[in-house]
Amino acid sequence: MNRQRGMSSLALVLLLLVLGSLILAGLNQQLTTFSALVGGESYSLQQQASVQSALEWGRVQSWSSEPRVQCKKASTWRVCLRRLSETHVLLIAGGNDLLLWRAGEIMNGEVRFSPHGWSDFCPLKESALCQLP
């Protein structure tokens, strides 16, 4: 009788060991998945901040009213000013697949940008005008 109780205890310990291993493997896989998600989110936030910096850098640059499209390079990002009409301009900053825009006006030969900030969607009906040249 003692022998049978010993085997059932050993089987129970082995069952607990297997269940614990399966739970730990599942938690490890979940941690790996969450780590990849956080890494991707962190990269996206860095890219967004970099493009916003490029847009702000482009805003304080001196732009002339001619030519209709002018571009400058800030680190790995490009910033372009597109003249849409005699009085309206659009500042475009971006690289890769991320673009930001800021509307502006030409007043007395100077380019002045909207105080309302940037836009993360194309403010024009024609999306081709919102792309970097």
Residues 54-79 pLDDT 10s: 999 989 988 887 788 999 987 788 99
CA angle centred on 103, ends 87 and 42, rounded to 5°: 165
pLDDT in tens, 81-127: 999 888 899 999 997 789 999 999 888 888 888 888 788 888 888 88
Which residues fall within 8 angstroms of residue 20, CB to CB, at 6 or more apart? none
Residue 72, domain extent = 2-130
Total tally of structural domains belonging to the chain: 1
